Structure 1
């Protein structure tokens, strides 16, 4: 899709569609231009309440608006003084949904009209592109009837600021990464298994010269003493893997930024089996891994002068004669022993050995991303990603990046008080604490394996997806990509 920027001259708009934004207590430039071109029509539609300022409401004018654009889409935006970032994104997504219903090939969007307070044209351009392209995504990989491809091939962002090329490119790359994460997450577990993810990594490396791939198999994990990881993967006939994607955009001396994604392509709970109701949703237990793929795809497109390593810790948690039992004690790669109280707390077992492994990269920072606990959904719902860190600076950098990308997080504590929950009489610690503070004790467990570098943990159980109808969200690709871009010197 070709996306460009041009000045907002409404008498010269040549696109088939023109978006016009309508507020109930302020008049936008695009609405003023429409009234000037055909005041009688607009006044009549306002009087009959066909044009409404209700947020997301769209009135279509076909062929009779007396502007060069063939058709007009009047988008309700609510009150101007209440028009914030959420309203901005809702407006673009509503517009995109309407565009999908048409057979139009081009649209002009006057982004100056809907700029939220304290935001630049660059921000508006980036988020418009990202929101438009992600709204166009529709899952059909396992359907016999495929979605109709969009006819939209050209978008013009109307703005007085014309230095928007980088913003457009960033918005595109963000969207491509988000949509890739959504696609991987939405695939069923009989398609998207550890071997499939390894294939996707190879495909990514084939597409971008800057990316190299390495896959660590279970035999190598045995040699390295990854007893915690293998305690999970041994329950499945499908072998677990650690997939390493290296993006080499910086100098050889530059420390890499490492992302570690939990990739449980299906989580039955193991011997501590989950209830049958809703178990199909456990295909989404690999959304941390999916987000790593999404970020690496975005970074490969943007080509920043950074070194980034994406690590996918992928396995299935299944029930079999070889599955780990509650009460078993295993030895982790770092020599620590863990009493497995609940085999459904498997993500932290897969991650802990992987987090030990990545020490060898001498990382500038390590961030793990995981659908780790149901407890965080109770605590934060589906709006904010939980952000834990052993560094106040790193935690704040992620929170700032999330706010800039409008993929927000919330700071969570890592206090020694919570360690009491993980004490075991039979091992160095247990893999779970009590129900109280479940997300925090899970993060505390991971912190035992990250003492030698700067580390953060993102619990995305509430933000990676919210319901089966909407599927995977692609979060936190935006936050992480922005965090990396902010590291450019």
Structure 2
């Protein structure tokens, strides 16, 4: 997909299809008013016939409207004007992209970014127009022929900026949106791949591909093999991979866009490329969805790619501990005790709580980077899904300032998180009679005790944990990876880089 910014007299711009928005009761948006005026009232005349209700996402394709240089006009329903918010705006953009694909429009000129909901500026509407359109036209075809794919898909979307807008701000929004969209699409693709293709070795190869594709000395990739991790003493991580024929990897992506004296931001992503639960075997129903247990890793890949594409002026390190968790004669058993890189011992009461075992060694390894902050993201607990559903990520940190930074970035990007407690009161639930800690703390507060476990390995730097089990993929008919929280991570990086158009 190509995205461009267009200015000028709307009715005189040539395009295969002009996209305008109309609210319920035929209330025209400002661009639609321009179209109606140029057509001598023809637009309103058609709408009053009742062919378009104005309901959110409803659409109507019109031909040969007089007074326009465009071949066709796609009218998209925006719902009630007083209820129009960011969520509904993205739904309208999505509906428009899907309608354009159905109508064989390979290029279009959209005015939807001029429909600015309360709390948003044009930078946000333009950026969201890019990311929502990209998400709508994404299709997975790696392991199946997509017979429903449009024969003439949308290939270029021009975004119109009205006379009171700043074209340069809009172009910056397009640039940022494209980078986030590419990172998100890559994260979705990695998440959607089956576990027999997307192995720890494959993830390492993808990091090497990014290094080669970036064609910049700013990005350097390093991969630690099992022998390297054994020498370091990563007993927790390696205990998970023992039951698999696939060797574990610790993937490190070093992006140096800042100065040599600048401490890096570090993102750590859980990379369980398939999780059976090990000896504590999961039920068969829906176990196929455990290919998504590496979506934390996928999010890190996507965020690093966005930073590289934008050439952001900061230092960033992506850390991905990658493994499978399978039952085998060498696999972890309930009651086993392993020694982590930190020297702390762990009693494994449930082998299905393996993500925290690979993360704890990776988090200890991060100490050597003298990080400014570390954020780990992991499809860690079903308990977080029970608590928060499928909308926000669960945020855990004892650092109020860092929590505020992440929450604000989530609101700004539309990729939200919600903070849950990380009180010391919960730490006693993971005490063990036979090791420094147990890897589970019982049914109560499962997402919190998992975060408490990780907190024991992050005392030497600022740290936050994002439990993305509820947001990383969709189930049922729409089954597939979402690419979240790439947008949230990218927003954090953009804000820290100081490259947004104005303070927010």
Q: TM-score range by the shorter chain?
A: over 0.9
C-alpha distance in 2, partners of 1:463/1:159? 35
CA contact (8 A) 1:388 1:456 kept: yes
C-alpha distance in 1, partners of 2:245/2:113? 55
TM-score, normalised relative to structure 1? 0.97
**Secondary structure of the structure 2 residue equivalent to 1:486:** helix
C-alpha distance in 1, partners of 2:160/2:357? 47
C-alpha distance in 1, partners of 2:8/2:386? 46
What is the correspondence of 1:416-431 to structure 2 with a 5 Å cutoff? 416-431=424-439
CA contact (8 A) 1:228 1:350 kept: yes
C-alpha distance in 2, partners of 1:423/1:113? 56
C-alpha distance in 1, partners of 2:40/2:484? 44
Query: Deviation at 1:376?
Result: 0.5
Query: Deviation at 1:401?
Result: 0.6
Of 197, 202, 208, the residue aligned with 1:196 is 202
Query: Deviation at 1:39?
Result: 5.1
CA contact (8 A) 1:59 1:74 kept: yes
Query: Deviation at 1:151?
Result: 4.2
What is the correspondence of 1:331-370 to structure 2 with a 5 Å cutoff? 331-370=339-378
- Further displaced range: 41-50 or 128-137: 41-50
Of 387, 396, 400, the residue aligned with 1:379 is 387
Partner of 1:481: 490
**Secondary structure of the structure 2 residue equivalent to 1:220:** helix
What is the correspondence of 1:110-121 to structure 2 with a 5 Å cutoff? 110-111=111-112, 113-121=114-122
Deviation string for 1:349-369 (max 9, x for gaps)?
000011001100000000000
CA contact (8 A) 2:183 2:301 kept: yes
**Secondary structure of the structure 2 residue equivalent to 1:4:** strand
Are residue 226 (structure 1) and residue 234 (structure 2) matched? Answer: yes
CA contact (8 A) 1:271 1:319 kept: yes
Query: Deviation at 1:484?
Result: 1.2
Query: Deviation at 1:24?
Result: 2.2
C-alpha distance in 2, partners of 1:247/1:62? 50
Partner of 1:265: 273
CA distance 1:47–1:111, change in 2 (3 Å): closer
Query: Deviation at 1:231?
Result: 1.1
C-alpha distance in 2, partners of 1:238/1:66? 64
Query: Deviation at 1:53?
Result: 1.1
Partner of 1:170: 176
Partner of 2:502: none
CA distance 1:158–1:16, change in 2 (3 Å): farther
Are residue 183 (structure 1) and residue 184 (structure 2) matched? Answer: no
Partner of 1:150: 153
C-alpha distance in 1, partners of 2:479/2:30? 34
Deviation string for 1:226-246 (max 9, x for gaps)?
111111010100011100001
CA distance 1:381–1:282, change in 2 (3 Å): same
C-alpha distance in 2, partners of 1:269/1:114? 47
C-alpha distance in 1, partners of 2:98/2:8? 23
Query: Deviation at 1:488?
Result: 1.8
**Secondary structure of the structure 1 residue equivalent to 2:480:** coil
Partner of 2:11: 11
- Further displaced range: 272-281 or 159-168: 159-168
CA contact (8 A) 1:18 1:108 kept: yes
C-alpha distance in 1, partners of 2:131/2:138? 11
Are residue 84 (structure 1) and residue 79 (structure 2) matched? Answer: no
C-alpha distance in 1, partners of 2:3/2:376? 34
CA contact (8 A) 2:114 2:125 kept: no
**Secondary structure of the structure 2 residue equivalent to 1:11:** helix
Query: Deviation at 1:154?
Result: 4.3
CA contact (8 A) 1:3 1:168 kept: yes
C-alpha distance in 1, partners of 2:55/2:260? 54
C-alpha distance in 1, partners of 2:397/2:44? 56
Aligned length: 489
Query: Deviation at 1:5?
Result: 2.1
TM-score, normalised relative to structure 2? 0.94
C-alpha distance in 1, partners of 2:177/2:146? 30
Query: Deviation at 1:110?
Result: 1.4
Partner of 2:306: 298
C-alpha distance in 2, partners of 1:256/1:118? 31
Partner of 1:414: 422
Of 314, 329, 332, the residue aligned with 2:322 is 314
CA contact (8 A) 1:291 1:477 kept: yes
Query: Deviation at 1:123?
Result: 1.1
What is the correspondence of 1:92-103 to structure 2 with a 5 Å cutoff? 92-103=93-104
C-alpha distance in 2, partners of 1:445/1:112? 44
Query: Deviation at 1:280?
Result: 0.3
What is the correspondence of 1:237-256 to structure 2 with a 5 Å cutoff? 237-256=245-264
